[in-house]
Structure 1
Amino acid sequence: MADEPAENISGGTDGGGEFDEFAPGESDTRAEAVVDRLGETYWQKAYGGQDGFECLVRTILSQNTSDTASQPAHDSLMARYGPAAGLAESLADADRDELAETIASAGLYNRKSEVIGNAAEWALDEFGSTSAFDGYVTESDPIEVRETLLSVDGVGPKTADCVLLFAGGRGGVFPVDTHVHRIARRMGLAPADADHETVREAIEAAVPPEKCGFGHTAMIQFGREYCTARKPACLDGPEACPLYDLCDRVGIDEIDGEFVDPAMD
């Protein structure tokens, strides 16, 4: 069974949470069967335990870029502005040009430095300290926390959901990034023209809460290794993809070896 990659939004083995096991069995939905199958290939884990504000920063850095680009930016930011317990205080006072230089490897660094700095000021205005914000994320009603995070400029649904999952350890949260969005529509787990929020709602309704966090990270890994944006593995034949029998292959023409966005099929 593969190890959880360190360079991903979950932070790998050092990113909080505990390894867990669930026995793949009689699945009630095809989406649950997909997660069960992923559990036979990848790690199984229950998430939670990351510091809330650091998780928010990490996820902002990951927007519109790869983990291999955002992880060094996160490491540099923490080395300069950490520790996590006082991160909002440090970033609220940070020179924005210096912050942008620190996170340059993440791309869109000028915009991200503004979002991070403004989020730090907001967290202190609303909660008074980094630790109070962290407590709010883990202890308050998750629907309220999500709505509060979405009110912050630069924080979208995926970012809010990642904070709920990786910091709050909330069950039933399945963040949707570009990999999950692509795979869910290709497989027919959500409508072909579904936006990110519709995909999230469809999967969260079909996957048991305790499997959602693992399903999110494992589906991302599956998207990197098999169901890529440039060439899905099924074009090399049924044996090339471990989820072939569970997939509708929407937008994929295996005979001609061509594929399009599911919404265009």
Structure 2
Amino acid sequence: MADEPAQNISGGEAGGGVPDEFAPGEADSRVEAVVDELGEMYWQKAYGGQDAFECLVRTILSQNTSDVASQPAHDSLMERYGPDGPEAAPDGDLARALAAADRDELAETIASAGLYNQKSEVIQTAAEWVLDEFGSEAAFDEFVRTDDPDEVRDTLLSVSGVGPKTADCVLLFSGGRDGVFPVDTHVHRIARRMGIAPPDAVHEDVREAIEAELPPEKCGFGHTAMIQFGREYCSARKPACLEGPEACPLYDHCDRVGIDELDGEVVDPAEAANS
């Protein structure tokens, strides 16, 4: 099993995960067979334990950008507004510090993540919401970890700028909830390309299709591993299968929707289905 890479959607070593193992067996579905194969390739972790508000901020920073860009932005934000930073709140509450932050200074701090004006507004709105609804970062953390996950998800989705992937990442990486499979651009592409989900499925359709067929305890690992697989093998423009069946370890599980191996052409699965 490969070592966990330094930068991935789990936040690396600070991602709130602990080493875990599951024994691949007789898979009851194609998606479970895929995740079992990924279990032979990548780290296995059980997630949970990340501070909920910091996790929310980290995921907002990761929207529409790579971890390579968002991680430095997160580190800069924590250095400035975290408990030991020069702009920390007196009680060390990150939400309180960000709610009181000068918007332009906050935007400058997270500039490496891209869309920094938009993201600074979303982060500050979320910080104000946490304080208004829960009173503190700690109380919000307790809500995410202990309340009904459907209620937590719906509540997070009510916050301006927080979408399904962001809400699901908070449930997974902070709450440690089984059965949660966040869908980012990699998962969305791979699931439709493989035939796990319909070719024209939107992100929520992909999430529902995967969660319905995968044992809950494998969802968190499956999410992070599928992202890594997308980066290493199943990229948007040059999937490994174009180099031949032996180049992709999941070749036998994949329908390769939108991929013409003979011509070397690759289109979105939805486009292929409608052509």
Category of TM-score, reference length = shorter chain = over 0.9
Among residues 262, 266, 273, which one is paired with 1:255 in the alignment? 262
Aligned to 1:189: 196
Q: Does 1:62 align with 2:57?
A: no
Alignment of 1:191-230 (within 5 A): 191-230=198-237
Q: Which amino acid aligns with 1:64?
A: N
Alignment of 1:1-265 (within 5 A): 1-83=1-83, 86-265=93-272
- Show CA shifts across 1:175-210 (max 9, x none): 000000000000000000000000000000011000
Supply the distance in 2 between the matched residues of 1:8 and 1:83 (Cα, whole angstroms).
24
Supply the distance in 1 between the matched residues of 2:3 and 2:133 (Cα, whole angstroms).
38
Supply the distance in 1 between the matched residues of 2:112 and 2:235 (Cα, whole angstroms).
23
User: How many equivalent pairs are there?
Assistant: 265
Supply the distance in 2 between the matched residues of 1:95 and 1:210 (Cα, whole angstroms).
42
SS in 2 for 1:192: coil
Q: What displacement does 1:13 show?
A: 2.3
Identity of aligned residues (%): 82
Supply the distance in 1 between the matched residues of 2:3 and 2:163 (Cα, whole angstroms).
29
- Structure 2: which 5+ residue stretches go unaligned? 85-91
Supply the distance in 1 between the matched residues of 2:36 and 2:244 (Cα, whole angstroms).
22
Q: 4+ runs of 1 displaced by more than 4 Å?
A: none
After TM superposition, the score normalised by the length of structure 2 is: 0.95
- Structure 1: which 5+ residue stretches go unaligned? none
SS in 2 for 1:10: coil
Q: What displacement does 1:255 show?
A: 1.1
- Show CA shifts across 1:198-254 (max 9, x none): 000000001100000000000000000000012110000000000000001011111
Supply the distance in 1 between the matched residues of 2:151 and 2:113 (Cα, whole angstroms).
29
Q: Which moved more, 1:18-27 or 1:178-187?
A: 18-27
Q: Which amino acid aligns with 1:95?
A: D
Supply the distance in 1 between the matched residues of 2:77 and 2:13 (Cα, whole angstroms).
20
Contact 2:237 2:266 in 1 (8 A): no
Supply the distance in 2 between the matched residues of 1:184 and 1:10 (Cα, whole angstroms).
19
